[in-house]
Each structure stands twice: as structure tokens, then as C-alpha cells.
Amino acid sequence: MKRLVCVLLMLVAGRLGAADFDYRLTAVQVAKDVYAFIGKTEDFSTDNGGNIVNTAFIVAAQGVIVIDSGPSLRYGQQMRRAIASVTAKPIALVINTHHHPDHFLGNQAFADVPIAALAETRNGIAADGNAFAENLYRMSGDWMKGTEVQLPGKTLSAGIVDVAGRRLRLVALDGHTGADLVVVDPASGVVFAGDLAFNGRAPTTPHADVAHWLLALEQLEGLTREAGFKVLLPGHGAPTADAAPIRQTRAWLTWLSGAMRAAAKDGLDMNDVLARPLPAEFASLPVAASEYRRSVGHLFPAAELQALGAKP
């Protein structure tokens, strides 16, 4: 027993030594005046502190436009410092693409500037923000210290907007959540896809409507076919110069929803569905096994309802 305690203490000490709570954010230039912080294609953990998400910023004529603020106060603060090392311009606006915690819990570090989101995203953050934050405290530990929900104060709607002297096109879609904002920056040719597109990582589905998501991917792919398109920045995973993340996300969702329907139709129980192996096509995709498990919980009950002939 005594030995066990010693080993545990060493583990704790080791952990403390390693975690200086520095996300080591490095701005990667993805186009002229456009930069991104690329997160790991992992699950939330006390090792990565929730740095599993892509955030970005545009250096516009009169200021900086920030797209998503990361998973914690510390992330937001470090992000702001990293932006300041690229440009001396002030932050003009922070945009939250959707109401998932890794995309808005850094807002606190930008409390002195306007923060904006679609109306339904604002409602979602107001309703679920605290529960999400609590969850991240459990998964990411002390990286979250001091993090509180900072609601976006401004409402965005679809269309052309002028921010800090930059013309942006806002495309309001849904499917990953009830409201998913895609930001198109015509000046650089960058499409900020938010979590409608995942690259090299299994998509997450806690608030997904798969049918809507697939429709949204059609529209998103259309944006990549427009003249002037240069870069697609997915919500998770590396940016690309083509629509590959869209196709990947579509392939996963199509398989996943089909598999849920077929399993329910065949009379499988949720444990039977959980025990199924992943198809070879997806088996090596990062976090595929854990996202599949979660998605069974999110999506199988609806498929089951239909197979059992229940009213939704």
C-alpha cells in the first residue's frame, strides 16, 4: 500500500512538472493575412488541455477578426498574445462559429471586444455553456482554471458584412449543431468551415442532425468550387487547398447513419451496436473508436425509434 502511494505521488509530481499550462500556440499562416492555430486530432485530456480545435484570425485593414476562441480562458489569453506577436492591430471582433465549448470558452480573454455569433448559437451557449464548461473541467483539469462562460453580445446573420475594413461573407448552415456559421473571406480565398468539416479526425455528433449536416456539406462544397477559393480550414485537423475534409466528413456521416439504421432494422440492441468493429476504411482514423461509441449513444436511439415503429 505504501509503495502504491509513493508511485501515485510520483505520477502527480510528474504531471505537475510537465504541465506549465502553456498551449505553445503557434500561428500558422494559411493565406495572405490569415493565420490559424491548429489543434491536435485527439480527445480532450489533461495532457492537451483541450487544444484539439482550430482557431484562426484575419488581419484586416483596421483590426483583427478572430474566429473561435478555444477551449479555456488560458487558451484565449495565450491566443491573444500569439496574435499580438503577429500584428499590433487591435482585435476588432471575435466570432464563435457554433456553441461547442472548444470554440467559445476562450471568449473571456476577449471580454473587452465585441463577440458575435448566430442567434441560435448565442441561445445554445446561454443554455448549455455552463454544463459544457463543467464537463471540460473534468476532462482537461487545471488547464481550465478560471474559465467561465462569456456570452457573445452581438448577433450575426447570414449575408455580407464589413468588419474592420474587410468584406466577409457569412453563410448560416446547420447539422453539426443547430446553427453552424461558415465564414468566407473573399480577399484571401479562405473558407472557415467550423465543425461542419473534420480533417483526419472522426467527427463529433452530440448535437448533430445528420441529414441536415449532409445538406450543409453540399453547400460547403459549393463554396470550395467558387472562383477565388484557396483554403478550407476545418474545425479540427489540417487546412487543405481542396474539399477533401468535406468528402471525408460526408463519408463518415453517411456510413455512420446508415449503420445505425441497418442495426436498428436488424434488431440489434445498443450493446450489440457498440460491439461492432469499425469498417477498415475508418479503423485507423484518429479517435474513430471513441467517437463511434459516443455517436451510438447520440444517434442509435432515433434509429431504434424508427425501427420499432414509434412516433418520434
Partner 1 sequence: MKYPLTIAAIALAALMPPAEAAALRESGDPLDSARWSEMQKAFLAGAPVLFDPRVKVVAPSTAENPMQVPVTVDATALSGVAEVVVFADFNPIVQVLRFFPEDAPAFLGFRVKLQQSTPVRAAVRTADGVWHVGGTWVNTVGGGCTAPSAAGGSKEWQQRLNEVSGRQWSEGPNAGRLRMRIVHPMDTGLVAGTPAFFLEEINFADASGKRLMRVQTYEPVSENPVFTLQRATADGPVEASGRDNNGNAFKARIAQ
> Closer CB to partner 1, residue 22 or residue 266?
266
| Shortest reach from residue 177's CB to Zn ion, in Å | 6
22 touches which of partner 1, Zn ion, none (CB within 5 to 8 A by kind)? none
Where do contacts with partner 1 occur on this chain (CB under 8 A)? 135, 138, 266-272, 274-275, 293-294, 297, 301, 304-305, 307-311
> Closer CB to partner 1, residue 43 or residue 221?
43
Contact indicator for 176, 207 with CB cutoff of 8 Å? yes
In 102-230, which ranges are E strands? 115-118, 154-156, 159-163, 166-173, 180-185, 190-198
Q: Which three cell numbers stand for residue 77?
A: 489569453
Where do contacts with Zn ion occur on this chain (CB under 5 A)? 100, 195
| Shortest reach from residue 268's CB to partner 1, in Å | 7
| Shortest reach from residue 41's CB to Zn ion, in Å | 14
14 touches which of partner 1, Zn ion, none (CB within 5 to 8 A by kind)? none
Residue linked to cell 445538406:
215
| Shortest reach from residue 264's CB to partner 1, in Å | 9
| Shortest reach from residue 23's CB to partner 1, in Å | 24
Query: What is the rounded distance in angstroms from the CA atom of residue 281 to the CA atom of residue 236?
Result: 19
195 touches which of Zn ion, partner 1, none (CB within 5 to 8 A by kind)? Zn ion
Contact indicator for 210, 204 with CB cutoff of 8 Å? no
100 touches which of partner 1, Zn ion, none (CB within 5 to 8 A by kind)? Zn ion
Helix (H) or strand (E) holding 57, with range, is: strand 55-59
Q: Which of 293, 261, 268, 267 lies closest to 278, judged by CA?
A: 293
Backbone angles phi, psi at 84, to 5 degrees: -65, -25
308 touches which of partner 1, Zn ion, none (CB within 5 to 8 A by kind)? partner 1
Residue 41 C-alpha from the chain's centroid: 11
266 touches which of Zn ion, partner 1, none (CB within 5 to 8 A by kind)? partner 1
> Closer CB to Zn ion, residue 195 or residue 304?
195
> Closer CB to partner 1, residue 114 or residue 178?
178
In this structure, which amino acid lies at residue 122? R
DSSP 309: T
Backbone angles phi, psi at 240, to 5 degrees: -135, 160
Q: Which three cell numbers stand for residue 251?
A: 463519408
148 touches which of partner 1, Zn ion, none (CB within 5 to 8 A by kind)? none
> Closer CB to Zn ion, residue 56 or residue 264?
56
Burial 250-260 (b: 16+ CB within 10 A, else e): bebbeebbebb
Q: In what order do the strands lie in the sheet with 231-236?
A: 159-163, 166-173, 180-185, 190-198, 231-236
> Closer CB to partner 1, residue 30 or residue 307?
307
| Shortest reach from residue 8's CB to Zn ion, in Å | 35
Query: What is the rounded distance in angstroms from the CA atom of residue 44 to the CA atom of residue 56?
Result: 19
> Closer CB to partner 1, residue 113 or residue 270?
270
| Shortest reach from residue 295's CB to partner 1, in Å | 9
